[in-house]
Amino acid sequence: MNELVFWNGKKILVTGGLGFIGSNLALRLLELGAEITIYDCLDPRSGGNMPNIGDNRDSFKILVNDIRNFEALSNAAMGIDIIFNCAAYTSHPNSMKDPFNDIEVNCKGVMNLCEACRRFNPNVKIIHVGTSTQIGKMIKEPIDELHPEFPVDIYSANKTASEKYVLIYGSAYGMRTSVVRLANTFGPRSNISTPDFGFMNYFIGLGLKHRGIPVFGDGMQKRNINYVGDAVEALIVAGASEKADGEVFFAAADRQYTVMEVAEAITERIGGKINRIPWPRERETIEIGDAVISNQKIRDILGWQPKIELNHGLDLTREYYISRLEKYLA
């Protein structure tokens, strides 16, 4: 499919569009000729950051509001062709400390979106961003879309629930819905000042400050990773294909890296030094161990495959942040 032809003139709503995934997606869709509305509450706990769209503010319709606001979200959804739901409260530890806020955003917010579309725009297509951590601990290797789900923290449990809401609305009301689960996405435009937005992006921030990078225990647990450009392309191919309707896909790299290997690559390509420290109790209780994820389904059905390997992705990431550190590091 010719992407320029498909996306040109399409009316797109990106919830969480000033955050990490959402802003990269919005900018890519802008390149493809789409008309984009960004909907974001700019809550610092959720990663929204106006500098993420740089000098392109006038190219977007920007609505500063919350997905918990049903009326505002309903108004935003009307007349839209495709919605990418990138809005989320993403901190695993904070979801354990403040579970009700996590439920409000990740469950009630997504239900608001589903219901707004059912009532006011039932022909819209919804692409919901899921997370690999919905699985919990790996029972069989590799993890695929049929793997049992036993999440070990409230954030992951609520992402599991919200994914099911989206799919239920698709099957029960004949709506076009699909889910793309992402794994440890890194790259430009993330919040890199806190571990709440993924360990890789936090490590990158520490490397840019030439600080110690904390690796808990031996760091030998395996992780799938994703450069954000590859993650965005997975969302785009799902948005453009009828084959994605009603489906769940894992979008992950072809190989896994240990946390230690990731930390070593960051120190080599960006900076910092590795500090090995014992597991903090609050992190050890929600640690999942190895995660080895298959991307075979999205390859077979949608033709997506990752293109940016770890070192190249880190080089691109460093290049982006190095001239913008004041906008991303406190």
Sign of CA dihedral 73, 46, 132, 27: positive
**pLDDT tens for residues 132-146?**
999 999 999 999 999
Position 120 pLDDT exceeds 60: yes
Mean pLDDT (the chain) is: 95
d(CA 165, CA 97): 24
Name residues whose C-beta falls within 8 Å of residue 2's C-beta, 6 or more positions apart in sequence.
Answer: none
Which CATH number describes the domain made up of 3-190+224-254+292-307?
3.40.50.720
What per-residue confidence (pLDDT) applies to 281?
A: 86
**Environment class of 128 (CB within 10 Å of its CB; exposed 0-12, middle 13-18, buried 19+):** buried
Work out the pLDDT band at 45, boundaries 50, 70, 90: confident
What per-residue confidence (pLDDT) applies to 198?
A: 87
What per-residue confidence (pLDDT) applies to 321?
A: 97
Work out the pLDDT band at 155, boundaries 50, 70, 90: very high
Q: Say what percent of the chain tops pLDDT 90.
A: 89
Read off the pLDDT of each residue in 7-13 and give the average, rounded to a whole number. 98
Q: Say what percent of the chain tops pLDDT 70.
A: 98
d(CA 324, CA 55): 13
- Structure tokens, 201: 């992006």
Read off the pLDDT of each residue in 291-300 and give the average, rounded to a whole number. 97
- CA 140 remoteness from chain centre: 24
Q: Work out the widest C-alpha separation in the chain, in whole angstroms.
A: 53
Instruction: Using alpha carbons, select from 124, 238, 235, 244 the residue that is nearest to residue 173.
Output: 124
What per-residue confidence (pLDDT) applies to 46?
A: 81
Position 319 pLDDT exceeds 90: yes
Position 1 pLDDT exceeds 70: no
Position 8 pLDDT exceeds 90: yes
Work out the pLDDT band at 24, boundaries 50, 70, 90: very high
Work out the pLDDT band at 4, boundaries 50, 70, 90: low
Position 154 pLDDT exceeds 70: yes
Read off the pLDDT of each residue in 248-269 and give the average, rounded to a whole number. 97
Position 329 pLDDT exceeds 90: no
Name residues whose C-beta falls within 8 Å of residue 37's C-beta, 6 or more positions apart in sequence.
Answer: 11, 12, 13, 14, 17, 60, 61, 62, 63, 76, 80
**pLDDT tens for residues 165-202?**
999 999 999 999 999 999 999 999 999 998 888 899 99
Position 280 pLDDT exceeds 90: no
